[in-house]
Structure 1
């Protein structure tokens, strides 16, 4: 066996082991969700006259058209007006800033304590905006909502009641609901993935006593926990995850409220979804690089929790491991080289069992969903996630290498340009990679198509969907196809 083949086999084995570990981690969390006992969270509030002051922060960037909608929900919260401070943290550079200014002026004139903070430079992006707002308030509790999230009236009563009853809790995170889950096949697939994250992963971590990552919106922080953790920092693209883990290392615990949901908007276009997933993937890996040494040196957590947190932060590296495994397998598909029995067994094991963890997450996170619809949505979720292989593998590598990039917020449905103005080259990398891999496999070893079908199908599907954004007729055909999924 020549050294290039030996190197390819070693790389393939390393990639497969990594993929197996990531899938096993999800399977462990799914099992814990089923078997670990529920944690009861006591809740109490002082008398109405002694309710604490609460700061509500709404960070925006070129999305001022959403401000009136969220403000209508914030002013309907069941909390005394005199005990609320609202901050619109609007770093917009377009005309949407005018909408925010007008909305804030109207509520201020009506007697609400509300302010708009506009920075000329987006230093540290969302983290910088949140930190700038904190500098202007001493409220002991801070609720945070992205502009597309709409909290129910009892949100503060239920969240702050939990924080007030347990002085060791640094923050609480609520479950995301999806206002536009039924919009198309992509949003239905996202709903399955996110429901798996919240209903299974977050709930399992909560039951096991692991840190529950703050998801950036729909949560309430104790100001003392933010300060003790070192405040908001903008050196990663997931400032929410970064702060949550630093708070845990500083001794603060967290809680997840499964039965309190806050509806938000899912990305409706593949381009918007890819932007979001790139940022999340890179941010997770940046947190892995930033915090691993501090995590393992800390005496605040037992070793098993350090391991679970490390696997959580490294989970997006599955895309890097997947891409490396595919590249390393090509010599064995095309040439006379044959995998050694241990690596062949490993490939078979991971190839057949590697979907157990992700599937368990999706299925357990969808109680009450029609089985037929669930099967379609689960298949779409796995396919489309596989289609992110190129983009997310790049994000993971950039995170490992420390390459910095701008915080690009997730485009909202209201951002959507007319279809003729979309970039017509979108999706070509995924289409090219999918077609090249398909052609290579069919020409060299058609049987290899079976283990690679999910990746090839995902690349082609996501590529076509992105391409469709720039070609009206293709977009219409894909939209019609999506309504049947």
Structure 2
């Protein structure tokens, strides 16, 4: 039994080590990209004949708090109106549809080319709405923005010119954050997203590996969408699905790190959990749907296959971490046994994994905080807090990825939007739901408390940092889920919304 426990623990550490090596390679690509000059050919928009027709699609579903901000922002887009149309793809089932119709009518009266498109059903969810709008879209290029995004007025002029390259199917821009400083929760979400958009997207794109359209703040060539088989709603991340199908067809993607598109981060633990569940389950569904095609495609390089494997299985490493956490408790009691000292000595190489994580995350963080003299100290706090809470979400995300891998279908649940600046007195508390998952999270919190106690009891401290992070993470998730506001990191003022 002891040997089986140690073998399993060592294998899980090895899996994490391999994943960390893939991130190290992305870091190398990222660093190389910083010295490379962009030589892409672009259209010259000073010549009106080179400006193509663009359709902007705005998928909505019960987004009343943010719909007016979205529509009036899009109406400020600096692009020739005769070469622009805006489709408001509204699947709303509440009274927000009436508000949307009124604002659309006002904008139409000013001559702005916008139309309100509704469906009698929600088949295919967001993918279905985008596909339905595509049937009548007049644009050669299709820009997509979710309801909580507020692109700058020159967004189209910064992205569309790259499509002079006829092989280019997608241009994706970097997400910015309107309310990153609102609370601990939003700071940690910004920390994760910045890592993805600075290091992962840049590293994969520079290495000519597959990247993903992020569902919003990007623009497609309409021909690319159709050639790849159009939008499909059989996964919860239709954006990732179409991205892989398009790149398997040979279309190129371009990521523009320097073009920032601001958006509002979820401000409640329930909204963040819902979003993470959808994203992570969708990634697992896409691995199940598309990875075999990548293995069979002889045109792809070995590096692209490897990075696609870790890309699509990214969320599945939460399941690995959860298993490591549980198994680490009996491992703690074996650490002092001389019979296994050689095995533990061999495992020390895997200490490189957290070092690699630290270095890669710091490189991404430093890129956006170059003028902050205290950036390293702020980063250290965010890094350990983020990974602790990520560990606390490991059960929630493990359930999502297992459902995805085993093909269990679930409804596409849109992330709630709040726009607190326009509703400063909104009550965010929701009824506490003590379900089976929360009970298990409480038990895991207690399990890692036992691990911390045992470390001091038996005088073995090598796993203490890991158990402290697991305990803190599950404590945060449990208390935040129970609406204990101080530990949820929530503020009652509007700080963090100064950019709205």
- Alpha-carbon shift at residue 346 of structure 1 (Å): 5.6
Structure 2 residue matching 1:404: 3-state secondary structure: coil
CA distances 1:293-314 after superposition (whole Å, capped 9, x unpaired): 1011113311221111111111
Q: In the aligned structure 1, how far is the partner of 2:452 from the partner of 2:286?
A: 37
**2:498 matched to which residue of 1?**
none
Match of 1:42 in 2: 41
> Which residue of 2 is the match for residue 26 of structure 1?
23
Match of 2:406 among 396, 401, 405: 401
Could you tell me how far 1:260 is from its partner in structure 2?
A: 0.7
| Alignment correspondent of 2:468 | 453
Superposition map of 1:297-446 within 5 A: 297-334=296-333, 340=340, 343-345=343-345, 347-350=347-350, 352-367=351-366, 368=370, 369=372, 370-371=374-375, 372-414=377-419, 418-423=427-432, 425=434, 429-443=440-454, 445=458
Tell me the distance in 2 between the aligned counterparts of 1:337 and 1:98.
Answer: 68
Q: Are residues 1:277 and 2:276 paired? A: yes
Q: Deviations over 1:204-253 (max 9, x none)?
A: 12211222211111101001111111111111111111111111100100
1:438–1:87 CA distance, 2 compared to 1 (3 A): same
Distance 1:379 1:337, change over 3 A: closer
**Matching residue within 9, 12, 30 for 2:9:** 12
- CA shift, 1:428, in A, is 5.2
Seen in structure 2, the aligned counterparts of structure 1 residues 346 and 396 have a Cα distance that, compared at 3 Å, is farther
- 3-state SS of the aligned residue for 1:267? coil
SS of equivalent to 1:366: helix
- Answer whether contact 2:282 2:404 (CA < 8 A) is retained: yes
**1:6 CA drift (Å):** 4.2
Report how many aligned residue pairs link the two structures: 473
Q: Superposition pairs for residues 73-472 of structure 1, below 5 Å?
A: 73-163=73-163, 165-334=164-333, 340=340, 343-345=343-345, 347-350=347-350, 352-367=351-366, 368=370, 369=372, 370-371=374-375, 372-414=377-419, 418-423=427-432, 425=434, 429-443=440-454, 445=458, 447=461, 448-467=463-482, 469=483, 471=484
- Given that 1:65 and 1:99 are in contact with CA atoms closer than 8 Å, whether structure 2 keeps it comes out as no
Residue 345 of structure 1: how far off its partner (Å) = 4.1
Q: Summarize the Cα distance change of 1:420–1:153 in structure 2 as closer, same or farther, 3 Å threshold.
A: closer
Provide the alpha-carbon RMSD of the alignment: 2.5
Contact 2:20 2:353 in 1 (8 A): yes
Structure-1-length-normalised TM-score: 0.90
Asked whether the equivalents of residues 25 and 357 of structure 1 are also in contact (C-alpha less than 8 Å), the reply is no
Shift of 1:71: 1.6
Take 2:428 and 2:75, find their aligned partners in 1: how far apart are those partners?
36
Q: Partners of 2:122 and 2:22 in 1: how far apart? A: 37
CA distance in 2, matches of 1:390, 1:374: 26
Give the unaligned 5+ runs of structure 1: none
- 2:55 match: secondary structure: strand
Q: Is the 8 A contact 1:16 1:346 kept in 2?
A: no
Matches of 2:290 and 2:340 in 1, distance apart? 37
The whole-number CA distance in structure 2 between the counterparts of 1:15 and 1:362 is 22
1:60 corresponds in structure 2 to 60
